[in-house]
Every structure is written in structure tokens, then in C-alpha cells.
Amino acid sequence: MRVDALSPLPGFCASEKQMKISIIDFDGKLPNLALMKISTFYKKQGAKIYFGNVPKDADKVYCSVLFSWNKDKAAVLKDYYENIEFGGTGWNIKKTLPEEIERCTPDYDLYPLEEIYRRTCGGIGKKSTKLKKAMIIKNMGLGFTSRGCCRKCHFCLVPRKEGKLRQVAEVKDIINPGSGSNVVTLLDNNLTADPYALDKLKEIKDLGLTVDISQGIDIRLINEDLARALSEVRHLRSLHYAWDLPDHEESVINGINLLSRFIKTRRHMCFMLVGFNSSFEEDMYRFRRLVELKVDPYIMVYNKKPDIRLKHFARWVNGRIYKKCSWDEYEPWIKAQQQEQLLFA
């Protein structure tokens, strides 16, 4: 999950002195919905908000940690700020926003354009193209219409963090009210499992919105009505889904074949989980099967410190190097094997 809720917040008594609230997005890329709501809450109380820049006399510092492997790095901040409070999936999946903050509209002014550009526009490419991408992110609406998931995947935090799937808002509620943008990023964990999915897709279409279904769709749940409805809305980027486990092959392939009747496979992307409970041979089989279907694969490595082969496999696939050379011809992997042989010779 890219957006994480923080813990309940203590209230501040009104005083003549203006409150100073500092907000730190430690490791996120997209704007953080919870931090944006915290900003709105305190602005309504007349507080001065500092983003990333923490004054020594701040009344409170809020820090969101997205990835668990950054927890120790973020914890060092406690040595500098006594009044810091941490939240986010990487810190504690049980912490949530209090209701009075959860109801707040996100503060879309919290993230400056330059900060969004820095976080999201790395790598090669024209600066003008990257700036356009940053502007889209800056102006887009962001939010959930549902929370939770019907699945109980062992590798996923959502069931433990959010519980069963439930409704929390309507599509119109996540439109950025001040930018005039027709782009919305839908953060729902499993849109295709939502009993109101067809209604929501129709609302997106009727409102003329361009949508990014950021968490992807559950391809195993695709039916003809959903596939048609997905084809009738404008998507900001490729429509993506996952093939997490080898045992899911039949339902995944059936879903891909059905969806491709309505949306061309060149507009698909399939995330492949590796390093969880599959062999490398099973990983390679899934990759080749997706390529046969003309679906763009993207490797997601489960373990932070996987075996070296999976690291090279991810680079070979995600960098689209497989289109230029075979796995057996991939030089970085060949050299890694040679170095390992010398090490244990």
C-alpha cells in the first residue's frame, strides 16, 4: 500500500500562539493521503504546516513510514524530535487516523510540485515529459471508495490492516475540488471484488474522469460485464493485475483472455510475485506464459534480500532486457555466477 494511516492524534488547546505542525513523508512516492488529511485538520485550527522542514520549536511532528525496512532509519528521528509521532504500514499496521481527521478533505497543497517531481520522476526521459507527469500527480484527486479485501493472501498486509471489504466513499468524493483536473487515483485494494464496482465504473465514465486504479484489479474475478465496463473508462496508465502464485494459472489466464476481448493486451501489465513460495523454474514459466499472451510482465521480489538470481531476473524482465537477449545470454547474471564459482573454488 502506498498510503498509510497514522495513529490517533492528541488535540491542541486554542492559544494565542500559532501551532507549528511538521509533516514528514519518509519514504513515499505518491502524495500520502493520511498526511494530507492531517494537514487539513490542523490548518482548520489555524496551525502553520511545515512539510519536511522541521523547526526546532514545532508543537508536533508527524512522520509516515511506508516500508518496514526503513523503520530503524526513521526511528533515529526520535533522537532529534521529542514530540514526533510515527505511523504508516512500515511502522505499525494497526495505527489509524481518528474519525475527525479521517473525514477531512485531503490538503492537495501540501506537496509542492518540485517535491512530487523529485519523488516520482527519476530515471531517463525528457524533462518536459517528467514535468507533465508531476503536474498530473499534483492536480489529481486521490482516495478510497472502499477499504479492505475479500482475499486472505499470506504475503499481503491488507487483511490484517484493514479487514473485510467495506464501502467508505463515492467516486465524486475523491475528485480534487480545487485543481479542475479530471484525473483520479483510486486506491481501493480490490475493485473487482467490490459489489458496487459496475456502479463506480459507470460513475467514472459519466463524470468524464481519467482513472488510475493504483492497486490494480483482481484478474481472477473478471467477468464480461466488468471487462466491458473497464474498457469504457479512460485509464491513466496500463491496467494492471497480478499473478502471484503458480497455482492461480487457470483463473489468471482465463481472466486475461476475457479482459483482452475488450482491452488490448498492449494496455495490460501483470505483476509477478517471486521469492515467496515458488521455484525459479515456476517463475520463468509464468514469465514466458505472459510474454506468449503479449502481456507486459513486471517482477515483484517478495524478500528484501532475495537470492542474487532473483535480483538479476527482476532487472532482466523489468528493464525489458529480455527483448534484446535471452536469460542465458544476460551478462550480469553470467558474471555473477562466475564470481560465485571463484568465491567457493
- Residues 177-217 have pLDDT tens digits of 999 999 999 999 999 999 999 999 999 999 999 999 999 99
How far is the C-alpha of 248 from the C-alpha of 251, rounded, in Å? 6
The DSSP call for residue 105 is: P
Average pLDDT over residues 229-242: 97
Identify the pLDDT of residue 135.
96
Beta strands in the chain (DSSP E): 20-25, 48-51, 60-64, 84-87, 141-143, 146-147, 166-167, 183-186, 210-213, 234-235, 239-243, 268-274, 296-301
pLDDT tens figures, 28-46: 999 999 999 999 999 999 9
Contact indicator for 87, 6 with CB cutoff of 8 Å: yes
Domains and CATH numbers, the chain: 1-8+17-108 (3.40.50), 238-345 (3.30.750)
Average pLDDT value for residue range 96-118: 94
How sure is the predictor about 303, in pLDDT bands with cuts at 50, 70 and 90?
confident
* Torsion sign over Cα 320, 254, 249, 185: positive
How far is CA 318 from each of CA 269, 296, 299, 305, rounded to the nearest angstrom? Answer: 11, 9, 6, 18
Q: What percent of the chain has pLDDT over 70?
A: 94
The whole-angstrom separation of Cα 267 and Cα 278 is: 27
Which of 268, 222, 220, 271 lies closest to 244, judged by CA? Answer: 271
249 with 277: CB under 8 angstroms? no
Q: Give tens-digit pLDDT for 112-159.
A: 999 999 998 877 789 999 999 999 999 999 999 999 888 877 777 777
Which among 274, 201, 271 is positioned nearest to 241, based on CA atoms?
271
pLDDT classification of 304: cutoffs 50, 70, 90: low
Cα angle, residue 298 at apex, residues 142 and 143 outer, rounded to 5°: 10
CA distance 216 to 254: 17
State pTM to two decimals: 0.88
